[in-house]
A and B are shown apart, each in its own frame.
Chain A
Amino acid sequence: MSHPVALDRPGERVVLMGNEAIARGAIEGGITLAASYPGTPSSEIGNTLARVAKKLGFHFEWSANEKVALEVAYGASMVNQRVICPMKHVGVNVALDILNPITLRGVKGGLVVVSTDDPSQHSSRTEQDNRWMGKLNDVPIIEPSSPQEAKDLTKYALILSEQVKLPVLIRTVTRLSHMRADVELGEIEDLGRKPEFDWEGFSYRVTGFEKLFRRHKERHEKIDAVEAEFEKVPFNTIKNNGEKTGIIGVGFAFTYVKDALEAMDVEDKVAWMKLLTPHPLPKKKVGEFIKGLDTLLIAEEVDPYVELHIKALAKDTNPSLKILGRMDGTLPREGELSHEMIDEKISEILGMPKKPTERAEIEAEKDELLFDRMLTMCAGCPHRSSLYALKKAVKEVKGDLMNVVVNGDIGCYGLAHAPPMAFEDTYFAMGASIGVSQGMQQMGVDTIAWIGDGTFLHAGIPALQNAVHNGANIKIVVADNAAVAMTGFQTNPQMGVTATGDKVDPIMIEDIARASGVKHVEVVDPYDLDAAEAAFKRMLEAEGVAMVISRRVCAMVAVRKMRPERPPVYVVDPEKCIGCKQCLNNYGCPALMWNEDERKASIDTTLCMGCDSCAQVCPVGAIGRRD
Chain B
Amino acid sequence: MNTFKIVVAGVGGQGTLLASRLLAEAAIKAGLHVKIGETYGMAQRGGPVMGHIQIGGETNNPQIRKGEADVLIGFEPAEAVRRGVTYLKKDGLALINTRKTAPVEVVSGMMPYPDMKKLMAVLEKVTKNIHTFDATGIAEEAGDPITTNIVMLGSIVESGLLPFSEEIVVETMKAGLKPQFIELNMRAFELGKKAYHSL
Binding site for B on A (CB under 8 A): 1, 13-15, 122-123, 145-146, 175, 178-182, 254-256, 258-259, 263, 338-340, 343, 358-359, 362-363, 365-366, 369-378, 412, 415, 420, 556, 581, 584-585, 588, 590, 592-594, 596, 604
Complex CA gap A181/B25 in Å reads 10
**Which residue of A182, A372, A415, A584 is within 8 Å of B45 (Cβ)?**
A415
Given contacts A359-B67, A369-B118, A369-B122, contact A181 B42 (CB under 8 A): no
Contacts of A372 in B (CB 8 A): 103, 105
The total number of A-B Cβ pairs within 8 Å is: 148
21 example contacts (A-B, Cβ-Cβ < 8 A) are as follows A1-B176, A178-B37, A179-B36, A181-B33, A182-B28, A182-B34, A255-B60, A259-B61, A359-B126, A362-B126, A370-B114, A371-B103, A371-B111, A372-B105, A373-B103, A375-B45, A376-B46, A378-B44, A378-B45, A588-B108, A590-B46
- Interface range for B: 35 or more
B172 to chain A, nearest CB (A): 11
Contacts of B37 in A (CB 8 A): 175, 178-179
**Residues of chain B from 18 to 42 with CB closer than 8 A to chain A in the complex:** 20-21, 24-25, 27-28, 33-42
Complex CA gap A122/B39 in Å reads 9
**Residues of chain B from 69 to 99 with CB closer than 8 A to chain A in the complex:** 78, 81-82, 85-86
Contacts of A590 in B (CB 8 A): 46, 104, 107
**Which residue of B45, B66, B122 is within 8 Å of A340 (Cβ)?**
B66
Complex CA gap A338/B64 in Å reads 10
Inter-chain contact A376/B104, CB cutoff 8 Å: yes
B129 on the interface (CB 8 Å rule)? no
A498 to chain B, nearest CB (A): 24
Inter-chain contact B82/A366, CB cutoff 8 Å: yes
**Is chain A's interface secondary structure helix, strand, loop, or mixed overall?**
mixed
Inter-chain contact B104/A374, CB cutoff 8 Å: yes
**Most chain-B Cβ atoms within 10 A of its Cβ — which of A180, A255, A584, A596?**
A180
Complex CA gap A166/B34 in Å reads 35
**Which residue of B46, B61, B104 is within 8 Å of A588 (Cβ)?**
B104
Inter-chain contact B61/A375, CB cutoff 8 Å: no
Inter-chain contact A339/B63, CB cutoff 8 Å: yes
Complex CA gap A181/B114 in Å reads 36
Inter-chain contact B63/A370, CB cutoff 8 Å: no
Contacts of B128 in A (CB 8 A): none
Complex CA gap A89/B59 in Å reads 27
B161 on the interface (CB 8 Å rule)? no
Extra contacts, 11 of them, besides A13-B28, A339-B63, A359-B86 (Cβ < 8 A), are A175-B62, A178-B38, A179-B62, A180-B36, A181-B34, A259-B65, A362-B85, A365-B125, A374-B103, A375-B46, A590-B107
Inter-chain contact B45/A175, CB cutoff 8 Å: no
Complex CA gap A376/B11 in Å reads 13
Nearest A-chain residue to B106, judged by Cβ: A371
Nearest A-chain residue to B90, judged by Cβ: A358
Complex CA gap A143/B11 in Å reads 31
Contacts of A378 in B (CB 8 A): 44-46
B109 on the interface (CB 8 Å rule)? yes
Complex CA gap A594/B111 in Å reads 11
Complex CA gap A375/B111 in Å reads 15
Contacts of A14 in B (CB 8 A): 28
A176 to chain B, nearest CB (A): 8
**Most chain-B Cβ atoms within 10 A of its Cβ — which of A254, A259, A339, A373?**
A373
B192 on the interface (CB 8 Å rule)? no
Complex CA gap A596/B112 in Å reads 10
Inter-chain contact B61/A180, CB cutoff 8 Å: no
Inter-chain contact A180/B103, CB cutoff 8 Å: no
